[in-house]
A and B are shown apart, each in its own frame.
Chain A
Amino acid sequence: MKSKIWNLFFSALAIAVLTGGCQKPAEKAGGQQEGYITIKGSDTMVHLVTAWVERYMQKKPGVDISVTGGGSGTGIAAMINGSTQIAMSSRDFKAEELKLVKDKGITPIPHTTALDGISVIVNPATTIDELTMEQLRRIFNGTITNWKEVGGPDQPIAILSRESNSGTYVYFQEEVLKKDDYAATARLIPSSAAIIQAAEQDQGVIGYVGIAYAESGKVKTLKVKKTAGEPGVVPTLENIKSGAYPISRPLYLFTNGQPTGESKNFIDFVFSPEGQAIAREVGYIPVK
């Protein structure tokens, strides 16, 4: 008799748990539409987007926006899985990602919010001041392994690169390495800050980071020459905007379809004079 009562009790409990479990996610999804936005992706952009979000949330209390990094690929993967409303990315979708997106019925729309220059940095003790794009390519693909081959002292070159989940990694590979593979000896460093850290300490290293990061550390930024005949160009805001500096790229926010509601308000804010001024303050090049 008693065991029957227990059975009843347990089955009632089970039903309660199961139905309760079903209701919760539905509620959550509904709640997310209101004033809650998630933005995921590029580590390069975390700095910038956080600055926008802070100002925006000051102006619009009650709106809650969360920003997480992890790399452009992470943001794009999150958009494909539907776990973020806005993806920040320093590269466009790859062909295989576009295929996945189509299957899931998502149409990513890029918004070019600012431009970023990539600085080539070396240890402050390095005597080299400028390199051509071709020299950079040959250094990073492992053809040139000693500084003396580009006019420096007899010292081996140690390459620092971002990890392969970084949009900067892919961009640099495409634009500077001309789609060559990185040298196998390249050290893959998990973050831009760690690259700066290593370049400050270690002799003979060469690496690349976004210009905003290069300014934050005690490292030497190289001038870059498009060809051997042209003068070396420093990555400044003006040189990047004019296109004189060869290594620069757009920073995207992706939305699924045209943005609506709070996402639209936020993206409008990004393109407003105030938003663009913030981009400039943080160290990127405004587009408007």
Chain B
Amino acid sequence: MLNFRGCKEKGVKTVFLITASMSILVVAMIFLFLGKEGLSIFKEVPLSSVWVDKWYPVSFRKPQFGIIPLLAGSLLVTAIAIIFAVPLAVGTAIYIAEIAKPMEREFLKPFIEVLAGIPSVVNGFLGMVILSPLVKKVFSLSTGLNALTGGLMLGIMAVPTIISISEDAIRNVPQSYKQASLALGASFLQTTFKVTVPAALSGIIASVMLGIGRVIGETMTVMMVTGNAAIIPHSAFDSVRTMTATIAAEMGEVPFGSTHYHALFLVGFILLSITFLINYIAQKVLHKYRLGE
């Protein structure tokens, strides 16, 4: 009987070990696969031909696979999204963690969770029919399909991620800090902005990093509202083509094993490396803050 139990224990442990290491294995395999498919483009074209500002994958003249416009597009949209989302989300987090009454909190939190759960195609649709005409009107542009619309839509999508992690961080600031500050005669506002928020700063930064990770990988929404022109944007009102939208739009068409196919994998590999790096930094920052607790 005991022997059986020991066996079972071991078996269960092994099963969980396998499931736990599965995600590591999957990430490693994806990296290997993307890297292999993507980097083999350099067998066909030199590195310099990928670092140009023209993305013309389908051309009767000369196909060109310059990733600069795609990289610039993704970065611009992400920057706009974060500039828009951070004040909104951090403000909300401070309110929920410090100011809101328990009842208000109970009321607000489900809505934020719903916001996180909206499918990106629905966001894209809303962006296309509501936000894009609005942006066009407000800035009197010829069309509302541009980086700004994409950035605003993505900002809305990043907000829930940033709120929930920032709120955790603010809430985890030890009560004694606040009490000390209040005891020294600081007002509530002073305590919040001079003591609580700085103490939670690394958590907030981590939440922003994770928000960036969420935004840079978003596909459907940006594909629907940014106009997808592969140019290096000069302003937020230019159309941009992000890396994600490029892969989504072109992967279905591309002949297997062609240069275009490898180019798309290269774009995917770069995208994965960026998100990986961002998440890694976020985890580092988060870890540091937890240790300091």
Contact = CB atoms under 8 A, between A and B. Distances in A.
Interface of A: 2-3, 6, 70-71, 73-74, 77, 80, 94, 96-97, 100, 155-156, 158, 163-165, 169-170, 173-174, 179-181, 184-190, 194, 197-198, 201-205
Given A165-B249, A202-B142, A189 B255 contact: no
Nearest to B251: A165
A158 to B, nearest CB: 5
B211 interface: no
A286 to B, nearest CB: 29
B144 A165 contact: no
B252 A190 contact: no
Nearest to A94: B255
Contacts, number: 105
Contacts of A190: 223-224, 228, 249
B142 A164 contact: no
A73 to B, nearest CB: 3
A95 B280 CA distance: 45
B82 to A, nearest CB: 24
A203 B142 contact: yes
Taking residues whose C-beta sits less than 8 angstroms from the other chain, chain B's interface range is 35 or more
Contacts of A94: 255
Contact of A187 (B7, B59, B143, B252): B143
Interface in B36-82: 54, 56-61, 69
Contacts of A201: 132-133, 136, 143-144
The 3 closest A-B pairs by CB, nearest first: A73-B253, A165-B253, A179-B60
B228 A188 contact: yes
B223 A71 contact: no
A164 B224 contact: no
Interface centre among A71, A169, A187 (most CB of B within 10 A): A187
Contacts of A170: 58
A90 to B, nearest CB: 13
B239 A187 contact: yes
Nearest to B10: A3
A197 B142 contact: no
B256 to A, nearest CB: 7
Interface in B140-197: 142-145
Contacts of B229: 184-188
Given A173-B60, A180-B61, A205-B142, A185 B253 contact: no
B256 A187 contact: no
14 contacts: A6-B7, A74-B252, A80-B256, A94-B255, A100-B256, A158-B143, A180-B60, A184-B69, A188-B249, A189-B227, A190-B223, A190-B228, A194-B128, A202-B142
Contacts of A197: 128-129
A155 B142 contact: yes
Contacts of B60: 173-174, 179-180
B250 interface: yes
B247 to A, nearest CB: 12
B258 A96 contact: yes
Interface in B212-265: 223-224, 227-231, 239, 241, 249-250, 252-256, 258
B265 to A, nearest CB: 16
